[in-house]
Amino acid sequence: MKNGRGKDRDYPWWSPQVTPKEYELVREVLDSNYLNEGDYTTRFENEIAQLLGVKHAIAVTSGTSALFLALAALGIGPSDEVIVPDVTFIATANAVKLTGAIPVLVDIDPDTLTISPGAVESAITQRTRAIIPVHVSGRAADLNAIMSIAKKYDLFIVEDAAEAFMSSIDGKYLGTFGNAGCFSFSPNKTISTGQGGMIVTNDDDLHIILRQLKDQGRPKRGTGGDDIHYSVGYNFKLTNLQAAIGLGQLSVLHNRLQRQKEIYTIYSDHFENSSNVSIIGFKINRGEIPLWTDAIIERRDVVESYLQKMGIHCRKFWYPIHTQKPYFQNDALFSQSTQLMSKAMWLPSAFILEDTDVEYVCNQIKRFFG
Ligand SMILES: Cc1ncc(COP(=O)(O)O)c(C=O)c1O
């Protein structure tokens, strides 16, 4: 069961993997007896900053805390409005709530499942302070359009790149376009630290505020006894133990990214002319990396149960945020997300799947549709 493939025929939607490197690095941390945030965290931050070509990377406890801290560091709080897509993991909206600001939900572009720039512009009010484009499954939101809207109305951009680590568009990594970009290292991501997150920014002043906010308002951690606290702050430290796992995971990063592209390509080739299954495209040639392959499938729920019986595990898309109790609104305001989310599903995308496994999944889906 260790690799998520306990049975002979088991096709996981996702399966995190650890390598011997993680064991080695975690042992080093344990031997050092310094389990708190420390040198390994700094190394992890530096490696990520270098990989993404940004000035600053700040490690935190999760993607959710990364989003919250980025917004809070930009001064967003009560009575401000932040524009969020209706299709995302609910953490995006919850992080806005945590600042006291109001998440304003808008519809998506049906071709990319990312935030619709037209809907963003229509939702802007006097109170709007920021937009959070979410790069769903690693697919870039329309950054050209969103950046120019932000410029026109003087708004901040915090990219939710939780699912887009190392995905890029035309030579620039997702997460590095806006004022800040937020990543998640939860178990279903390309690299995982169990739970963990990272904020990246090129803004030196924002970096200083972020460091303070994540550690009780201290610019520098001392003994705790005679520390100087410049502001209110929190505890969102990522420990050496977690960072050691992250560093180990980075040692196989490029193989994983390559595998993710290969898996997506098998699916997209198989269903190129299908009338029942539409694989949502990735611009692989322009740098996008599919974390997971997502599809719009007719009779989705029946297909999902049919596959499940064969050990083929898919994941249905999130319900649109506007249908969830804390954010409830009328479906009529969100025609695209309402229509698409009952048909959207992630296909098995674990990087341990072999080509023949992915082909088997494709053939079973084809068999279902006769
Ligand atoms: C789009 C999106 N935003 C935010 C998050 C929150 O990240 P975390 O689970 O690390 O808090 C996730 C996922 O896990 C996500 O997929």
Place of tokens 């149960």: 305
Q: Which residues pair with 82 in a beta bridge?
A: 103, 130
Ligand 1: does its nearest atom lie under 6 Å from the Cβ of 134?
A: yes
Place of tokens 């098995």: 348
Q: What pLDDT is recorded for position 8?
A: 61
* SS3 assignment, position 172: strand
Active-site positions read 189
- Give the residue among 119, 39, 130, 111 at the shortest CA–CA distance from 85: 119
Tell me if domain 20-250 and domain 253-368 are identical in fold: no
- Give the residue among 42, 40, 104 at the shortest CA–CA distance from 241: 40
Share of the chain above pLDDT 90, in %: 95
Question: Which H/E stretch holds residue 168?
Answer: strand 168-169
The rounded distance, in Å, linking the Cα atoms of 263 and 354 is 8
pLDDT digits (tens, 9 = 90+) for 37-75: 999 999 999 999 999 999 999 999 999 999 999 999 999
Ligand 1: does its nearest atom lie under 6 Å from the Cβ of 89?
A: yes
- Nearest atom of ligand 1 to the alpha carbon of 64: 11
Distance 160 CA to ligand 1 centre (A): 8
- Structural domain boundaries in the chain: 20-250, 253-368
Other beta carbons less than 10 A from residue 218's beta carbon: 17
In degrees and rounded to multiples of 5, residue 130 shows phi and psi of -155, 160
In the predicted structure, residue 275 carries a pLDDT above the cut 70 = yes
Q: What is the mean pLDDT of residues 105-130?
A: 98
- Give the residue among 66, 126, 122, 129 at the shortest CA–CA distance from 94: 66
Ligand 1: does its nearest atom lie under 6 Å from the Cβ of 92?
A: yes
CATH number of 253-368: 3.90.1150.10
- Nearest atom of ligand 1 to the alpha carbon of 67: 4
pLDDT digits (tens, 9 = 90+) for 2-18: 444 444 679 999 999 99
- Give the residue among 122, 69, 118, 113 at the shortest CA–CA distance from 91: 69
Distance 192 CA to ligand 1 centre (A): 12
Ligand 1: does its nearest atom lie under 6 Å from the Cβ of 88?
A: yes
Ligand 1: does its nearest atom lie under 6 Å from the Cβ of 80?
A: no
Other beta carbons less than 10 A from residue 70's beta carbon: 33
The rounded distance, in Å, linking the Cα atoms of 231 and 209 is 9
**Which residue among 97, 114, 184 is best mutated to probe the pocket of ligand 1, counting the most ligand atoms within 8 A of its Cβ?**
184
Domain 20-250 has CATH 3.40.640.10: yes
